[in-house]
């Protein structure tokens, strides 16, 4: 089975997303360890790094940020989001036909551009390196995210997406709405859409 074919698992196991991911844990007191972000009630699910980011967490720590270290990341102060902060942003709903089962599904979450804005970044003169937990890291210009209205999906068919499926976060878009994308084979329409995304690096163009 292709490693990106996790749709069935995402739907059937959605209820297993921990309550922590939904922002129900108490916020840590004080500065906390290097990868603890201020203002979060649950664990950080998405970290945004790069120029002009409004930092709410400390720089990369090779001991505490082990998965990031294994994927060769290194960064200064960054902005982190937990599930609650992401779901508090205005939500957009899309209904694309997905490559995994060739069926229409409902995905909800904030526009990627709104997430970037909430992190303090603005402007379209950047590229976005979007990294999934499997190491898959496509790059798009911000203008692409604007044109195709990419979202940071937090729900699939009305339920949170679990780790081990497509989630907890999936950067994607409604390919059905764009004739240039619909002209491609369905297996190629989501090549720039990492599931299990946990890090976005803002790169100047």
Q: pLDDT per residue over 144-173, tens digit each?
A: 999 999 999 999 999 999 999 999 999 999
pLDDT of residue 123: 72
Nearest to 78 by CA among 110, 29, 121: 121
What pLDDT score was predicted for residue 109? 98
Q: For residue range 37-47, list pLDDT tens digits in order.
A: 788 999 999 99
pLDDT at 12: 42
Looking at every residue in the chain, the average pLDDT score rounds to: 86
Contacts of residue 103, defined as CB under 8 A and 6 or more positions apart, other chains included, come to: 97
What's the pLDDT at 19?
Answer: 47
Q: CATH second-level architecture of 7-26+34-203?
A: Alpha-Beta Complex (3.90)
Name residue, tokens 């950067």.
Answer: 171
Could you say which residues of the chain have pLDDT below 70? 1-36
Pairing status of strand 155-156 against strand 107-109: antiparallel
User: Model pTM?
Assistant: 0.84
Is residue 138 within 8 A of residue 67, CB to CB? The reply is no
φ, ψ (nearest 5 deg) of residue 104: -80, 135
Nearest-angstrom CA–CA distance, 81 and 121 = 14
How many other CB atoms sit within 10 Å of the CB of residue 176? 14
């Amino acid at each position: 089975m292709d490693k990106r074919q996790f749709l069935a698992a995402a739907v059937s196991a959605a209820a297993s997303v921990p309550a922590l991911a939904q922002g129900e844990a108490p916020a840590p007191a004080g500065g906390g360890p290097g990868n603890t972000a201020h203002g979060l009630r649950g664990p950080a699910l998405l970290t945004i790094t790069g120029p002009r980011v409004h930092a709410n967490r400390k720089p990369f720590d090779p001991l505490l940020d082990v998965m990031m270290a294994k994927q060769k990341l290194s960064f200064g102060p960054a902005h982190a989001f937990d599930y609650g902060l992401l779901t508090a942003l205005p939500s957009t709903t899309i209904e694309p036909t997905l490559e995994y089962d060739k069926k229409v599904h409902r995905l909800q979450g904030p526009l990627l551009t709104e997430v970037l804005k909430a992190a303090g970044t603005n402007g379209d003169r950047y590229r976005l390196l979007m990294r999934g937990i499997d190491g898959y890291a496509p790059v798009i210009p911000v203008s692409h995210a604007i044109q195709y209205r990419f979202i940071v999906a937090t729900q699939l068919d009305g339920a949170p997406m679990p780790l081990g499926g497509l989630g907890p976060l999936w950067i994607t878009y409604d390919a059905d709405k764009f004739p240039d994308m619909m002209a491609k084979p369905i297996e190629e329409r989501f090549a720039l859409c990492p599931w299990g995304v946990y890090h976005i690096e803002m790169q100047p163009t």
